[in-house]
Structure 1
Amino acid sequence: MKLIHNSREPEYRTPFGAVRAGSTVTIAVRVEEPPATQLAVILRTWVDGGGERLHPMIPDGEGRYVYQLKCSRPANIWYSFHTAWHENESEESDVHHLHLGAPQGHTGGEGVMYDYTEVPSFQISVYEHRAIRPSWYERGMVYQIFPDRYRRDEHWHERTEAALDKPRHGARRRLVEDWWEPPVYERNEDGSIACWDFYGGSLKGIEEDLPRLAELGITAIYLNPIFEATSNHRYDTADYLKIDPILGTEDDFRELCQAAEKLGISIILDGVFNHTGDDSLYFNRYGNYPGEGAWQSEDSPWRGAYEFNEDGTYKCWWGVANMPDFNLNSPLVRDLLLGEDGVIRHWTRAGARGWRLDVADELTEELIADIKRVLLDEKPDGLLLGEVWEDASNKISYGQPRHYLQGAELDSAMNYPFRSMVIDFLMGNITAGEAAEVIWSLAENYPPEALACCLNLLGSHDRPRIASVLGGGPDESKLPEEERGRWRLTPEAMGLAKARFWLATLMQMTFPGVPSIYYGDEYGLEGLSDPGNRRGLPRPGDPHEYDMETIIKNASGVRRELPVMIDGSIEPFAVGDDVLGYTRKNAAGEAATVLINRSQCSEQDVRIPALGPCATDVVSGAELPVAEDGTVGVHLWPFGSAVISFHADERLQKPLEPGAGVVCHITSLPTQDGRPGTLGAPVKRFIDHLAAMGFRYWQVLPVNPTDLFNSPYAGPSAFAGNIDLLPETEAELRADYVRWEAAGGAGTDIAYRDYVAEQRAWLEPYCAFMAIKKLTGGVSRHEWPAEFQTWKPALLTDRRLAKEAHVQSYLQYRFELAWQDVMGYANAQGIQVIGDIPMYVSDDSADAWAHPELFSLDRDGRPTEIAGAPPDNFAPDGQVWGNPTYRWPVNRAEGYTWWLARLRRATRIYDRVRLDHFLGFHNYFSIPAGRPGSEGRWVPGPGKELFERARAEIGPLPFIAEDLGVLTPGVRALVSDCGFPGMDVLLFEDYDIRQGIFAKPGKILYTSTHDTATLAGFCTSSFCGGDETAGAELAEKLVHDALDTDAELVMMPLQDVLGLGDDCRMNVPGVAEGNWAWQAREEDIVAAERSTARLLRATGRSFGEAALVEDDDEAVEAADAAEAAAIAAAAAANSPAAGTAEA
């Protein structure tokens, strides 16, 4: 007979893993080759504190025995299976027994049969649900700081000196002037510390570094102890209600919390409540504090707060005499910690949002539960973590089972099992299968809420630096203690550490729980155990390692952009010994699989189940085809990794219709009066050409008002239309306004009133802004009188502004009418118009003026942070664009109202919308105002959340992502998760495009863009040695090759359609003047019409009636004659003698 049970398979146990109190769990065991006699199958359960129960299991007729187990209250339920049967039908015959339990050393998985009764049990964790979750923590990233070694502030020296010069008894303390001096311990003969070194790190120093942490994506800081203490680690608390004066004051702490909150960062404190220092207000061994401490007198009020023996000795933490244990049942201790102005309430009110309990195993369960009760009373979404080194769901401490994760105590624990698994796997100490088993155990035993709150650390103050570990650090037992802070990896070993650090960090960022970065790990700090792992953090400007920081940013970007990495379940698997994989799935149907190849020398080819119709590896950017057998193939290089995001064809995007299109701004269209192109006849004539050629799309640059340099990517409004694009001059429009007003104006024009009502949110501030501009002679808003510095509706009735504001409203109405006329004409011919919205707005704009809270502006409305780009080979000092950056936390808090209005308007006036600088929605480069680009930093953007809001309000989003530039895994994940088609530009390809063009799935292929050389210009300079004729011929071939690819959509600037060189460029980035002026000639467009139509038909991209034309010889001759006549007519129409009137 064979018994089968696997606690991880739904056939045998449902639901999986931990369950809420009140749930019923279906447990089954399969019996194969049962005995001929009657079989009794018993489910044995054991509940800690509740004892054993035996439950007869019922056969289901399909070879299984089943029992419905009610889990009514929080507890750990342990179960196993026991069978009995007689050898034959006689009840007098021998009875046989067989037992099934968990594998030895495990609490779940595939059961093992035993021939003895006391078998290992399977575990079911039953927990109480917490209604208000600490979502601020669960969805973020933690940064652990050892305060003394983090950052000094400008007053560090006098503050530290003053604290250390105070007369005192006990261990000596000294100030270390040299921040880079390796930390060492000066010890007494008995091994105790003779002198504590202080480097002067402070709370103000931490506050000054908050912007850097925000840039790193940090949302919570876990501070090692900050209360007054003798040592530099401060786990020997002297006064729980006082900030250590070397670190600062309580006001400094409150200000740190406030400054952090503004950046979306919360503070988690370290609560050391099992013991104090012997040099403390409470124990007072050395008499350094007023009053009698427990050590000084049996009559001290604090005597009962400690556990003294009859001989005067006392209980202390692990035998360390300078850390006497509290008597946790003492009313005085409980009041100190839990009272109305006790430690928990006091510091939580001061700004802390969570606590980490040091040595949780040493605390009573009653105290932990009371700490949580008090914390949640102060902050309903507060967090309580515990230092637990093993599986916190079934921890046995001092012979007693703990109930940490069942709801009343800890939210979760520091995830040391995760850390050990990652390091052991990457260093070759365990196989991928053994690593998978660790993951299974955590996923099965931890309540989902606790797993989501696990602090997933790689480094900490208690462990060697992760760089030293992954680089193959030495056996510390063979090194003197003073070498722990001095020992360094070789360059080769550091390279190895970096390769493994990417894999470790990718696992950390894609694992259930919250990633935690130990200070300095992002700078590649090295060091072995304490004190070597507590070196000073490199200061601004100090040399340090950059690759580790980039690794953290890239890996955390994946977590931020793929929600499944935060709220998904996890199912691990192994492929051989070297490849570890796990799949994350969430309730929204999202799924992703992570693959890690730990081998230093072996490539691996892996096939995994496809969990959606499409698959994207966001690490490499590769689109992975789904095979007929429903699998996806992945190639992993040595130390290779992949994060395969599975998704439907349609996600947030509106599906793209195939074809071809032309990029040409309105001002580049030919006219008959010498003006730049306008709406009306020039546009309609161009649309006719597009239709005749067979194009489906026409892409324009932004149609907003421009700046002084005529850039459509800058100007006074992100919403308004550019009236310079109208065929009428401004003087003619103003004359029309006078006639319109005389005829009744708004009183009789219902369409105008409807327009104003619909657009009021942006229209009114814009009209007031432009009226003030006119009144003040066009000066910057920063130079306006105080009365105009702030937008308010009353400005519209100000007698100095009212008339001009009304004129501006009318002008925008006229633009709207003209633009909608163009859109209607284009759509009637099957042409879809692709618009463009810049990422940023101008500082001198109605948007920044009316909504200063949404932008990085000071109280006077001046920018504090400017958008730009980091230094590179083309701009060694970086680029400063001049636009204020967004305050994304404020935008988020307001529900992205302004952005949703902007996107909604864009989808109203265009068929499709190109989102310029799409990378900025993931990470954007922010530069302090007045500083060079080299001082900027990358800061997280809103990510997918903004577009999910837009999808819910607008419907399928017709967006195109301008995803050019450095594509990190996070950007790839955002594009993949949203589904927006990206851009692929021939000029930027990393292969020789003359040998063939390879379209990338999910990308629109552009032959060039408005910001690049023309295709002919590029070919001339890059391939043809300056020969313009040869460059034009090669460009013509490449246009054909691009159209002949399987790219869904190919877009070509009009210059590429016409075969024009670089003298016809639209824009040279970084150059203010001379741009945006190129204008096509009508005769060139007419000349290209027929050949372009044939080319689109030949490549299968022709659309509309043009696709129905047959290219026979007779038709070609007729077309030649018609084309010649049209060219002549176009040339005549554009000659100087042709007049200036536009038809």
Structure 2
Amino acid sequence: MRFPRSSGLLLHPTALPSPWGVGDLGPSAYQFVDFLAAAGQSLWQILPLGPTGYGDSPYQCFSAFAGNPGLISLDHLIQRGLLSYDEVVEASRRYDLNADQVHYGEVLAFKLPLLRHCYERLREGGAPDMAVAFTQFCRDQRAWLDDYALFMTLKEAHDGRSWHDWEAELRTRDPKALAEARTQYAEAFTLQQFFQFLFFQQWLPLKAYANEHQIRIIGDAPIFVAYDSADVWANPELFFLDAEGKPTVVAGVPPDYFSATGQLWGNPLYNWQRMAEDGYAWWIKRLRAAFTQMDILRLDHFRGFAAYWEVPAGEETAINGRWVKGPGAALFKRLEEEFGALPIIAEDLGLITPDVIALRDQFDLPGMKVLQFAFGGGSSNVYLPHHHVPNCVIYSGTHDNNTTVGWFEDLTEEEREVIRGYLGRSGSDIAWDFLRLAMMSVADMAVVPLQDVLRLDARARINTPGRLGGNWGWRFRDDVLNAGLAHGLHFFTEMYGRLPPQPEPDEPAEDATTEDELIYDPVDLATTA
């Protein structure tokens, strides 16, 4: 579907300021929305919100439906009386809660016992209204929540090992074994449900607050799910697995200019024929949950829906793979039947063939343009602004790119000179040169990472693909988002016609939905079932 001319910023909530070691869904998230509104922005793009595992990547989550407990705001729990400020401060003294980098292991070791303490207080009679809402949440979200909670409970009971290393009866989901596990680990199971309740109790009011300020949330959905996830464990028939539950083929991308051996991602591949037999029910559930949590969804690796690179399991590289036809239009026609026009951005970067373009255009989905990809190959490069089309999203860079300042510093002088010539500027303020270039593009939507707005160098890069460790940790300080920065963003946003429409002066303001109304109303979340 087409989107109105607009602009916004790319920032994952983990990067927000907070005193507790990681950005969360608390006060700083609301302050960021206020900054976006003051700057005339109408989009906030985030990365996947799911619970992360080894490597801390939001693109390798334990569930495609669940939220990350690490994002739960302790400040909100203090306000609700489930924690005291003093006990949070006392607990924090035992951990390295860095203001500039997220140390995920430290954060979870600090936070999860406090969340468990909240559950104990709830069980002892504290916040009875919240207890009622929790019961309703568990009932409404049973379709995905029970499998996820049991998966995480069993994973914890097995010292974090992958589900494939559990006992055979648990690995194969023997009904009697699962029932016994639910009884044996009843408290741990309920605790996992409670973590999810707290997450959505905080995320949905934050999304509503953004929407009230004319800001839409752009979410992100990886095409593939992690092997070690509740999704694969609970739905093995939907993936290419052998009798032991191991993948027979895995995902990747073929060798190209950037990698002689390709990229071996290792995710299990969908059995699309099996999914088609039940009308793509799992995908409908997944997108229904996503559209409850987000306003617009960016589908990562969109080309995989047209054709994907299949690599035999056990290969050490992606060289010995093959292209296999994906579900194509059949999936998206089914999704349109369910949801109508699809509020989806197609991540169409990389090796894009005519069938991918045809699939994207058949459903009127905007693709992506990245300015850091524009300056190579001469004037015919499709990422150059003079080749842009309205139905696309222009980025200065993405979460996988260096910051624009860092990228520019790594170029040769000859490469920098080409860019200066195109811009007609010296390049001394390259981050805002690119910001301005994105804003002036004919692209319907323009999104810029906050690091570029802040003119930060490579030290603020959030992810380097292929690097093990050291990713996803960057954070910013709470004193950098000032009125002058908002004014500068607003200036360019207004100049290039990207301001959100303003209500008529005599138009009465709609009553704002209160946080309590959102917390205790299960209707929206029930649609994920």
TM-score w.r.t. structure 1 length? Answer: 0.38
Kindly report which structure 2 residues correspond to 1:934-1013, keeping only aligned pairs within 5 A, or say none.
934-989=319-374, 990-991=377-378, 997-1013=386-402
Q: Secondary structure at the match of 1:834?
A: strand
Deviations 1:893-944 (A, max 9, x none): 1221111100110001101110011111110111000113111111111111
Are 2:53 and 1:707 equivalent residues in the alignment?
yes
- Equivalent position amino acid for 2:306 in 1: H
CA distance in 1 between counterparts of 2:360 and 2:428 reads: 34
Distance of aligned partners of 1:1023 and 1:1103 in 2 relative to their CA distance in 1, 3 Å threshold: farther
CA distance in 1 between counterparts of 2:342 and 2:48 reads: 18
**Structure ranking higher in helix proportion:** 2
Q: Secondary structure at the match of 1:1012?
A: coil
Displacement of 1:873? 2.8
Q: Which one of the candidate residues 404, 410, 423 is aligned to 1:1015? A: 404
Q: Which one of the candidate residues 1010, 1033, 1036 is aligned to 2:432? A: 1036
Q: Secondary structure at the match of 1:963?
A: coil
Distance of aligned partners of 1:827 and 1:1034 in 2 relative to their CA distance in 1, 3 Å threshold: same
Distance of aligned partners of 1:667 and 1:1024 in 2 relative to their CA distance in 1, 3 Å threshold: farther
Are 2:254 and 1:865 equivalent residues in the alignment?
no
Kindly report which structure 2 residues correspond to 1:29-428, keeping only aligned pairs within 5 A, or say none.
none
Distance of aligned partners of 1:913 and 1:942 in 2 relative to their CA distance in 1, 3 Å threshold: same
CA distance in 2 between counterparts of 1:801 and 1:746 reads: 24
Are 2:250 and 1:874 equivalent residues in the alignment?
no
Deviations 1:471-501 (A, max 9, x none): xxxxxxxxxxxxxxxxxxxxxxxxxxxxxxx
Q: Is the 8 A contact 1:660 1:1051 kept in 2?
A: yes
1:1101 alignment counterpart: 498
Kindly report which structure 2 residues correspond to 1:1081-1120, keeping only aligned pairs within 5 A, or say none.
1081-1086=477-482, 1087-1103=484-500
Displacement of 1:1104? 6.0
Distance of aligned partners of 1:998 and 1:969 in 2 relative to their CA distance in 1, 3 Å threshold: closer
Are 2:185 and 1:838 equivalent residues in the alignment?
no
1:1050 alignment counterpart: 446
Q: Is the 8 A contact 2:5 2:497 kept in 1?
A: no
Q: Which one of the candidate residues 154, 158, 170 is aligned to 1:776? A: 158
Distance of aligned partners of 1:1104 and 1:973 in 2 relative to their CA distance in 1, 3 Å threshold: closer
Q: Secondary structure at the match of 1:1093?
A: helix
Q: Which one of the candidate residues 89, 100, 121 is aligned to 1:739? A: 121
Displacement of 1:800? 2.2
Kindly report which structure 2 residues correspond to 1:421-460, keeping only aligned pairs within 5 A, or say none.
none
- Equivalent position amino acid for 1:941 in 2: G
1:1059 alignment counterpart: 455
Which segments of 5 or more consecutive residues in structure 2 lack a partner in the other structure?
75-110, 417-424, 506-529
Q: Which one of the candidate residues 1067, 1073, 1077 is aligned to 2:473? A: 1077
- Equivalent position amino acid for 2:56 in 1: N
CA distance in 1 between counterparts of 2:118 and 2:255 reads: 50
Displacement of 1:951? 1.5
Q: Is the 8 A contact 1:1023 1:1031 kept in 2?
A: no
**Structure ranking higher in strand proportion:** 1
Distance of aligned partners of 1:818 and 1:1032 in 2 relative to their CA distance in 1, 3 Å threshold: farther
CA distance in 2 between counterparts of 1:743 and 1:822 reads: 27
Deviations 1:792-834 (A, max 9, x none): 5652553322221111011101111000111111111111001
Give me the CA root mean square deviation.
Answer: 2.6
1:63 alignment counterpart: none
Q: Secondary structure at the match of 2:480?
A: helix
- Equivalent position amino acid for 1:885 in 2: L
Displacement of 1:1063? 2.0
- Equivalent position amino acid for 1:877 in 2: T
CA distance in 2 between counterparts of 1:757 and 1:970 reads: 42
Q: Is the 8 A contact 1:662 1:1053 kept in 2?
A: yes
CA distance in 2 between counterparts of 1:1100 and 1:978 reads: 26
Are 2:29 and 1:666 equivalent residues in the alignment?
no
Displacement of 1:882? 1.4
Moved more, 888-897 or 1039-1048: 1039-1048
CA distance in 2 between counterparts of 1:909 and 1:1102 reads: 24
Q: Is the 8 A contact 2:348 2:368 kept in 1?
A: yes
CA distance in 2 between counterparts of 1:797 and 1:790 reads: 14
Deviations 1:306-339 (A, max 9, x none): xxxxxxxxxxxxxxxxxxxxxxxxxxxxxxxxxx
Q: Is the 8 A contact 1:841 1:847 kept in 2?
A: yes
Percent pairwise identity: 39
Distance of aligned partners of 1:870 and 1:1041 in 2 relative to their CA distance in 1, 3 Å threshold: same
Distance of aligned partners of 1:1107 and 1:878 in 2 relative to their CA distance in 1, 3 Å threshold: farther
- Equivalent position amino acid for 1:1035 in 2: A
CA distance in 2 between counterparts of 1:1022 and 1:926 reads: 34
Are 2:152 and 1:756 equivalent residues in the alignment?
no
Q: Secondary structure at the match of 1:1085?
A: coil
Q: Is the 8 A contact 1:1067 1:1076 kept in 2?
A: yes
- Equivalent position amino acid for 2:66 in 1: A
Q: Is the 8 A contact 2:385 2:441 kept in 1?
A: no
Q: Is the 8 A contact 1:1017 1:1031 kept in 2?
A: no
Q: Which one of the candidate residues 186, 199, 213 is aligned to 1:802? A: 186
Deviations 1:316-368 (A, max 9, x none): xxxxxxxxxxxxxxxxxxxxxxxxxxxxxxxxxxxxxxxxxxxxxxxxxxxxx
1:676 alignment counterpart: 22
Distance of aligned partners of 1:1009 and 1:748 in 2 relative to their CA distance in 1, 3 Å threshold: closer
- Equivalent position amino acid for 1:682 in 2: S
- Equivalent position amino acid for 1:953 in 2: E
Distance of aligned partners of 1:765 and 1:793 in 2 relative to their CA distance in 1, 3 Å threshold: farther
CA distance in 2 between counterparts of 1:718 and 1:944 reads: 22
TM-score w.r.t. structure 2 length? Answer: 0.81
Deviations 1:1077-1128 (A, max 9, x none): 11122333225222112221222222367999xxxxxxxxxxxxxxxxxxxx
Q: Secondary structure at the match of 2:251?
A: strand
2:102 alignment counterpart: none
Residue correspondences, number: 454
Are 2:303 and 1:919 equivalent residues in the alignment?
yes
Kindly report which structure 2 residues correspond to 1:684-723, keeping only aligned pairs within 5 A, or say none.
684-723=30-69
Displacement of 1:991? 4.3
Deviations 1:843-870 (A, max 9, x none): 1111111111111111111111110011
Q: Secondary structure at the match of 1:1084?
A: coil
- Equivalent position amino acid for 2:168 in 1: A
2:100 alignment counterpart: none
- Equivalent position amino acid for 2:136 in 1: D
Q: Is the 8 A contact 1:1016 1:1059 kept in 2?
A: yes
Report which structure shows greater RCO (CA 8 Å, sep ≥6): 2
CA distance in 1 between counterparts of 2:244 and 2:441 reads: 54
Distance of aligned partners of 1:915 and 1:846 in 2 relative to their CA distance in 1, 3 Å threshold: same
Displacement of 1:748? 8.1
Displacement of 1:1024? 4.7
Deviations 1:498-551 (A, max 9, x none): xxxxxxxxxxxxxxxxxxxxxxxxxxxxxxxxxxxxxxxxxxxxxxxxxxxxxx
Q: Secondary structure at the match of 2:355?
A: helix
Are 2:273 and 1:885 equivalent residues in the alignment?
no
Displacement of 1:1056? 1.6
The structure having more radius of gyration, on CA atoms, is 1
CA distance in 1 between counterparts of 2:51 and 2:384 reads: 43
Are 2:252 and 1:855 equivalent residues in the alignment?
no
CA distance in 1 between counterparts of 2:503 and 2:362 reads: 36
Distance of aligned partners of 1:1101 and 1:788 in 2 relative to their CA distance in 1, 3 Å threshold: same
